Structure 1
Amino acid sequence: MFSKSIKFNAALAALVLAPSLAFAHPGAGQAIGFVHGFSHPMSGLDHILAMIMVGVVAWQLGGRAVWMVPATFVAVMGLGGALGMMGISIPFVEAGIALSVIVLGAVIALNVRAPVAAAAGLVGLFAVFHGHAHGSEMPAAAAGMSYAAGFMIATATLHAIGLAMGFAIARAGDAKGALVARSAGGVAALAGIGLLTGLI
């Protein structure tokens, strides 16, 4: 257990420090791209809630899901981002993003125990919408690869925060921890309904 905690904290530190490493030798376009890409997922409540909840869902499922669910989201989001950068339209992007907050919040609130493959498929579906939103809003002056690296690293960082929150909740004990996690999922789902209906 102690060894797992050390590995998790080391991975979290690497994700948090990654943005500073990306600035080691930036060119103008690369720097602009990375900064805009990294800030985009951090600038909207819908993205922040969904990304953190992907981490919490992964923690709830445990085992291989801890890395497979977030990794699937980041990989598929990259594909969605490429579609957005190329100007290929996808219908209902904003609704898909709002639904991701509702569904992931409900999964946490109801403590749904899905197979890892099903969970990865679900987050992968939502990742297309999030990625497309990031890619379609890329500034003209930004370098595409740097921009994509920025929003993918930001997303992975938010996933890691969600995982860290899950492990922190677990320290509160089984009964209290489960109540906190499920309550937070319910609040997030309600926020998602507010986002979908335009109330937030």
Structure 2
Amino acid sequence: MKKFLSLLALLAAASAASAHTGHGTHSLMEGLAHPLGADHLLAMLAVGVWSAATLRGRARWAGPGVFVTGLLAGATLGAAGLALPLTEQGIALSVAMFGAMLLAGERLPQHVGLVLIGAAAMLHGLAHGAELPAGGVFAAYAAGFVATTVALHVAGLGLGGVLRQLHAAAWRLAGASLGLAGLLLLARA
């Protein structure tokens, strides 16, 4: 738990801006690296952790599935020119929202959690798609950020499985830490 919280603190201290400026969007490798910015990384892990905490059996994959679908839909819209004001702030708030979802645990109806995951995914996708320059290769870049997203969801499912075996205080601490990280990211956005 100490290692998890230390990692969370370090990620929150990382620059939120690095996720959406000054990086390439032309290749598979650049797509693979994109979700490793603090805002995306924390959100992707949180989706897996929440899914492990609240969904059972094969249904655990619903959270990551909804996220990837929303991510691709948002990226497609962003690449087509759709832009929403305050997208970066919305992404930071999504990290805090995922913390609140962890704090709520099973009290949050599963369908509500999945809708929130889908909405957050659309914002993350819009940011990915909007960064694609004219003439950029969307397919390679998208394949990269989807692959890393799925890997982070799987890691979150594993972490969630570990946290599930611990006392309920571990969930509350993880949720509160994630919420705080989201608020720190929002302050920097």
For structure 1, list consecutive stretches of 5 or more residues without a partner in the other structure: 1-31
Task: Say if 2:184 is the partner of 1:191.
Answer: no
Looking at structure 1, the residues matched to 174 and 121 of structure 2 have their Cα atoms a distance apart, in angstroms, of 21
Equivalent of residue 53 in structure 1, options 12, 25, 46: 46
Q: CA deviation at 1:87?
A: 1.8
Equivalent of residue 29 in structure 2, options 17, 30, 35: 35
Q: CA deviation at 1:86?
A: 1.6
Q: CA deviation at 1:195?
A: 1.2
Whether the 8 Å CA contact 1:59–1:65 is kept in 2: the answer is no
Q: CA deviation at 1:138?
A: 2.7
Identity of aligned residues (%): 40
What is the number of equivalent residue pairs in this alignment?
164
Equivalent of residue 167 in structure 1, options 161, 168, 174: 161
Looking at structure 2, the residues matched to 109 and 170 of structure 1 have their Cα atoms a distance apart, in angstroms, of 13
Equivalent of residue 79 in structure 1, options 73, 83, 97: 73
Deviating 4+ runs (over 4 angstroms):
139-142
Whether the 8 Å CA contact 2:101–2:175 is kept in 1: the answer is yes
Q: Using a 3 Å threshold, how does the CA distance of structure 1 residues 74 and 130 change in structure 2: closer, same or farther?
A: same
Query: So what's the TM-score if we normalise by structure 1?
Result: 0.75
For structure 2, list consecutive stretches of 5 or more residues without a partner in the other structure: 1-25
Q: CA deviation at 1:142?
A: 4.4
Q: Using a 3 Å threshold, how does the CA distance of structure 1 residues 37 and 84 change in structure 2: closer, same or farther?
A: same
Q: CA deviation at 1:111?
A: 2.3
Looking at structure 1, the residues matched to 65 and 95 of structure 2 have their Cα atoms a distance apart, in angstroms, of 18
Looking at structure 2, the residues matched to 65 and 105 of structure 1 have their Cα atoms a distance apart, in angstroms, of 20
How big is each residue's C-alpha offset from its partner over 1:32-72, in whole Å with a ceiling of 9 and x where there is no partner? 52111111111x11111111001111011122541111100
- Counterpart secondary structure, 1:196: helix
Looking at structure 2, the residues matched to 56 and 113 of structure 1 have their Cα atoms a distance apart, in angstroms, of 15
CA RMSD across the alignment: 2.0
Query: So what's the TM-score if we normalise by structure 2?
Result: 0.79
